[in-house]
């Protein structure tokens, strides 16, 4: 089998990830709503429950591990398993395998006051009395602390409604990144926007590098293909809007940097583009910049703009 075709086929499991992520998120929302209904109806045991990673993701990475292993085995049978091929597929198999083990093993089990936390590093036991606070991150993840030590982290794709209920029942402090929003707020794409293109980019660059001595033409083709996910990766990774002290600072890859007072923004329009819905900011009739409506914290921008205008009106009225 042609090396280039093998390379393209080998990234199909990652492409499937894009299709699964949205399904997983919708499933999480439905699961959370169902859990809340069960809590209200008292039809679920709020003192004894188990929280696990989504099985969809576990199966996806398992399929990826098997897929890469089969391709490597085919390389041995076909006589194309050179050192570079073994090295490349070995890394992919190891990465997928570790992720698969993590997703299948990771578990939080609550039995009254006792919390059993299981991961690749083994089992640990805590009590709710050990927990001093919980912190919600910008990406939706929840971190649980005992003093200054982080003991458990729940990813954003996990349904933690029952655990949140337990935290509130034991009156454990619940903090959020929004607590410091009045000082500074950063609006940026969600991690999934640049993680997947980044994986594609690194994989293609890696293959291009290891094939440069054995097959220069194939290596060049890999490099050309890497430019597309590489550009997308840089586009989202560097996309950042900072709101600080009544000012909006905007910068990023392929973008013109800008700085403007919130009070100078006269209107916001929602427009659809190739990358989804965009919030377009205007100063009078002049377009200033555009921000993806899917970015984390983007809703807070609209709230802050409204607050700034209200405060400005109050200040003028006092005069």
**Please, what is the Cα angle at 49 between 101 and 129, to 5 degrees?**
100
Query: Whole-model pTM?
Result: 0.56
What's the rounded Cα separation, in Å, for the pair 71 and 301?
47
pLDDT at residue 1, as a whole number: 46
Closest of 218, 216, 217, 210 to residue 84, by C-alpha:
210
Distance, CA of 82 to CA of 86 (rounded, Å): 6
Domains of the chain: 3-180 (no CATH), 185-318 (2.30.29.30)
pLDDT value of position 9: 55
319 residues of the chain, pLDDT tens digit each: 455 555 555 555 555 555 555 555 555 555 555 555 555 555 567 788 888 887 777 887 888 888 888 888 887 887 777 776 777 778 888 888 898 899 899 999 999 889 999 998 899 999 999 999 888 776 668 889 998 889 998 887 777 878 888 888 888 877 765 554 555 677 888 776 777 778 778 777 777 776 666 667 777 777 888 888 888 888 888 888 888 878 888 877 666 778 888 888 888 888 887 667 788 888 888 888 888 877 877 777 777 777 776 766 665 665 5
Count of CB atoms within 10 A of residue 36's CB? 15
The predicted pLDDT at position 13 comes to 53
Among 160, 304, 319, residue whose Cα is nearest residue 246: 304
Residue 109: what pLDDT?
Answer: 92
Query: How much is the pLDDT for 259?
Result: 85
Q: How far apart are CA 111 and CA 213, in angstroms?
A: 58
Say what the pLDDT of residue 108 is: 92
Residue 32's pLDDT is what?
52
């Amino acid at each position: 089998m042609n090396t280039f075709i093998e390379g393209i086929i080998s990234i199909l499991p990652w492409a499937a990830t894009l299709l699964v992520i949205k399904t997983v998120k919708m499933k999480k929302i439905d699961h959370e709503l169902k859990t809340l209904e069960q809590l209200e109806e008292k039809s679920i045991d709020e003192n004894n429950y188990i929280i696990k990673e989504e099985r969809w993701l576990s199966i996806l990475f398992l399929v990826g591990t098997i897929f890469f292993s089969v391709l490597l085995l085919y390389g041995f049978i076909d006589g194309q398993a050179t050192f570079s091929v073994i090295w490349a597929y070995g890394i992919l198999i190891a990465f997928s395998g570790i992720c698969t083990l993590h997703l299948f093993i990771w578990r939080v089990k609550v039995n009254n006051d006792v919390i059993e936390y299981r991961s690749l590093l083994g089992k640990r036991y805590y009590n709710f009395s050990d927990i001093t606070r919980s912190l919600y991150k910008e990406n939706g993840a929840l971190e649980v602390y005992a003093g200054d030590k982080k003991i458990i982290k729940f990813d954003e794709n996990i349904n933690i409604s029952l655990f949140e209920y337990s935290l509130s029942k034991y009156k454990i402090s619940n903090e959020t990144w929004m607590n410091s929003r009045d000082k500074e707020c950063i609006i940026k794409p969600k991690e999934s926007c640049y993680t997947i293109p980044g994986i594609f980019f690194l994989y293609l660059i890696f293959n291009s590098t290891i094939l440069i001595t054995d097959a220069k033409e194939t290596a060049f083709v890999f490099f050309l293909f890497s430019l597309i996910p590489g550009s997308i990766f840089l586009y989202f990774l560097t996309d950042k809007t900072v709101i600080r002290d009544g000012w909006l600072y905007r910068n990023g890859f392929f973008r013109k940097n800008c700085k403007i007072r919130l009070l100078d923004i006269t209107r916001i329009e929602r427009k659809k583009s190739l990358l989804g819905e965009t919030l377009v900011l205007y100063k009078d009739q002049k377009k200033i910049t555009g921000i993806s409506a899917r970015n984390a914290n983007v809703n807070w921008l609209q709230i802050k703009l409204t607050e700034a205008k209200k405060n400005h009106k109050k200040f003028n009225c006092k005069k």
